[in-house]
Amino acid sequence: MTTPRTANGTRSANGTGRVLIALGGNAMTGPDGSATPDAQRAAVAVAMEAVADLIVSGVDVVLTHGNGPQVGNLLVKNELTAHVVPPVTLDWCGAQTQGTLGFTVVSALEAALRRRGQPARVAAVVTRTLVDPADPAFEHPTKPVGRHLPQAEAERFVALGQHWEDRGAKGWRRVVPSPNPLEVVDAPAIRTLVAAGFTTVAAGGGGIPVVRDADGAERGVEAVLDKDLTAALLAASVDADVLVIATDVPNAMLDYGTANQRELGRVTPEELRGHAAAGQFAGGSMGPKVEAAVRFVEAGGRRSVITSLDRITAAVAGEAGTVVEANPVAAVEAIAAAAPAVAADAG
């Protein structure tokens, strides 16, 4: 996990290593959440300037991104035009967002790299993510998608059988099933591109959710995965050293939204799990980011950071944001505790 690499998969001189950056909705839409093509292109262009700076500094970057606003909007388009053209399922909508956002991210990053005199080797992979067909999340929609609406308008859609949730100051938002991601099915192709030196965009929107049939064939299922939870899996799949979850707040916070609100800096996975168990992080927003950050470090990742896009360079070095790292003393003790068993196995 700790071997520093360059963009072509070999060791880097400055020891920066490989970083998986998960870009949140704010990096993909306008400041007011607007998802017009112009607003999306402009927001992605800003995000790719920061990513290009990181690549130029020697960091080996892999990218993933959210799709909540976009996939929700596609769903509405499908429903409104169902009497005119055949509607498609939610997994198809997710695949379509990987296409448009992948195209937008690749184009913007290539342009930003060229402006810096760097070779532009960037690719996007249509990515499937395995889920369990028996995941209880299929019966309990939690993933917010699409636009915010005032309560009265949202309730009209609830009456039609849709699930909507009060998301606070911005209004109500539609929610859809979001099962736990189990495996990035296309990880071998992604690893091949990364090893060949491509800055790879993968598992957009958490990946297209698929289940595996008895014959081994995968088929799409109607859900939208959490891109941060899939990012933790993807980061491990590409042997990333650091997972950066880039959003619109500089830190995860305790007592968020109260007079007592305070930023969380450096924490261990155990401490962060404790805060999560105490209900400090909202579901469908900061909750899954915290869970993803913890999962990556628990799986052997060196560091996870939750921060805002403008701080990603400092975040990679562990100098900004909420930085999740294993307690070094506990890690050494765990290795020491396992050592006799390892020695006995070897004997």
Ligand X SMILES: Nc1ncnc2c1ncn2[C@@H]1O[C@H](COP(=O)(O)OP(=O)(O)O)[C@@H](O)[C@H]1O
Ligand Y SMILES: NC(=O)OP(=O)(O)O
Residue 25 sits in the site that holds ligand X (CB under 6 A): yes
Q: Which residue is associated with the tokens 């007011």? A: 32
Strand ranges in 177-255 using DSSP code E only, listed in sequence order = 183-184, 199-202, 208-212, 218-220, 242-247, 253-254
Q: Closest CB to ligand X among 228 and 239?
A: 228
Tell the smallest beta-carbon distance from residue 164 to ligand Y (Å): 16
Which of 63, 50, 60 lies closest to 15, judged by CA?
60
Kindly state whether residue 97 participates in binding ligand X, applying the rule CB under 6 A: no
Residue 67 binds ligand Y, judged by CB under 6 A? yes
Residue 181 interacts with ligand Y (CB under 6 A)?
Answer: no
Q: How far is the CB of 255 from ligand X (least distance, A)?
A: 8
For residue 20, the surrounding DSSP H or E stretch is strand 18-23
* 67 counts as binding ligand X under rule CB under 6 A: no
* Binding site partner of 253, from ligand Y, ligand X, none, Cβ cut-off 5-8 A by kind: ligand X
* Residue 127 binding target from ligand X, ligand Y, none, CB below 5 to 8 Å by type: none
170 is catalytic: no
The kind and range of the H/E element at 322 are: strand 322-324
Q: Which stretch binds ligand Y (CB under 6 A): 61-69, 189-197, 251-259, 336-344?
A: 61-69
Q: In terms of CB distance, is 67 or 127 closer to ligand Y? A: 67
**Contact present, 51 and 7 (Cβ < 8 Å):** no
Q: Does 316 bind ligand X (CB under 6 A)?
A: no
Is residue 249 within the footprint of ligand X (CB under 6 A)?
yes
Active site residue 77: no
Q: Write the DSSP symbol of residue 137.
A: G
Catalytic residue among 227, 251, 287, 321: 227
Please check whether residue 123 is in contact with residue 202, taking contact to mean a CB–CB distance below 8 angstroms. Answer: no
Residue 280 near ligand X by CB under 6 A = yes
C-alpha 81: how far from chain center: 30
User: Between 17 and 205, whose beta carbon lies closer to ligand Y?
Assistant: 205
Is 173 a binder of ligand Y (CB under 6 A)? no
> Among 25, 66, 146, 321, which one carries the catalytic annotation?
25
Which of ligand Y, ligand X, none lies near 26, with the C-beta cut-off 5 to 8 A by kind?
Answer: ligand X
CB within 8 A of 329, min separation 6: which ones? none
Choose which of 5, 18, 19, 24 interacts with ligand X (CB under 6 A): 24
Q: Choosing from 26, 102, 206, 251, which is the catalytic residue? A: 26
**CA 114 → CA 16, 55, 117, 215, 309, distances in Å?**
22, 12, 5, 46, 21
> Which residue lies nearer to ligand X by CB, 252 or 267?
252
* Neighbouring C-beta atoms of residue 80, cutoff 10 Å: 10
Question: Which residue from 34, 22, 29 is spatially nearest to 65, judged by alpha carbons?
Answer: 22
> In this structure, how many other beta carbons lie within 10 angstroms of the beta carbon of residue 105?
27
Whether 8 sits among the annotated catalytic residues: the reply is: no
Q: Choosing among ligand Y, ligand X, none, which partner's interface includes residue 272 (Cβ < 5 to 8 Å by kind)?
A: none
Q: Are 134 and 165 in contact (CB under 8 A)?
A: no
Tell which positions 4-43 bind ligand Y, by CB under 6 A. 24-25
- Give me the torsion for CA of 74, 76, 80, 82, rounded to 10°: 60
Residues engaged in binding ligand X (CB under 6 A)? 24-26, 66, 247-249, 252-253, 256, 280-282, 285-286
Residues engaged in binding ligand Y (CB under 6 A)? 24-25, 66-68, 205-206, 224-227
Residues annotated as catalytic are: 25-26, 143, 227, 289
